[in-house]
Amino acid sequence: MEWVTWMILSDKTLRGLLKSGELVVDPIVDESIQPASIDCRLDRHFLVVEDRNMKIIDLNSEVLYREHEGDSITIPPHSFLLATTMETVRLPHDLTAFVEGRSSIGRIGLFIQNAGWVDPGFEGQITLELFNANSLPIHLEAGRRICQLVFCRMDQAAHTPYKGKYQGQRKATGSLVCRDTESRRTKSSISF
């Protein structure tokens, strides 16, 4: 078997893929295309875990969320919420992408994503996991560049491109971990 190193795509390659329609990032503005990534902007839809009506988060049960839609949101200190990109993306079967926070955003204590991987074949808006690690609230406005997608060419097209439970997602989408196959099995548990 011949090993091929993976390759991060340049702005020139990204522009060519966008122009041909092989890669879709829509809507896109020219300033979003960086030397080795594409910046994505914050959209107007947010989800916060509904802690007033749940006593525990259980991986086998649906997680409840409060929905917020608006041009801005303030994240309290040490708080978590889900947001979404303004852009809808569609990856061909031979590209994958990493969701990374922008350095300028990280420097104010806002952690972007903790599960930042986009599989080949995915289509939809990208849900972002945001955590305010700061001791002060952080105010965010829709339309601001919040994260970046770094694209990698795979050694070959995926045999089984993504067709999972988040395919086609629009707006911030809460966890669907309760749909995992492991959730259907009965397990004993231990509480500490």
pLDDT in tens, the chain (192 residues): 566 567 999 999 999 999 999 999 999 999 999 999 999 999 999 999 998 888 888 888 888 999 999 999 999 999 999 999 999 999 999 999 999 999 999 999 999 976 788 999 999 999 999 999 999 999 999 999 999 999 999 999 999 999 999 899 999 998 888 888 776 555 555 565
Q: Is residue 185 one of the residues assigned to a domain?
A: no
DSSP 8-state secondary structure symbol assigned to residue 130: E
Residue 188 lies in a domain: no
Question: What domain count does the chain have?
Answer: 1
CA neighbours closer than 13 Å in the CB half-sphere of residue 71: 0
Q: Where residue 155 sits, what CATH number does that domain have?
A: 2.70.40.10
Contacts (Cβ under 8 Å, ≥6 apart) of 154 = 6, 94, 95, 96, 120
**CA 93 to CA 119: how far, in whole Å?**
8
The CA distance from 78 to 122, in Å, is 31
Is 180 among the domain residues? Answer: no
Residue for token digits 């801005």? Answer: 72
Distance of CA 58 to the CA centre of its chain: 22
Out of 31, 123, 129, 182, the active site residue is: 129
What is residue 9's DSSP assignment?
Answer: P
141 given a catalytic annotation = no
Judge whether 184 lies within some domain: no
Question: Residue 137 belongs to what domain range?
Answer: 8-174
148 part of a folded domain:
yes
CA 68 to mean position of chain CA atoms: 18
| pTM of the entire predicted model | 0.87
Q: Is residue 111 part of a domain?
A: yes
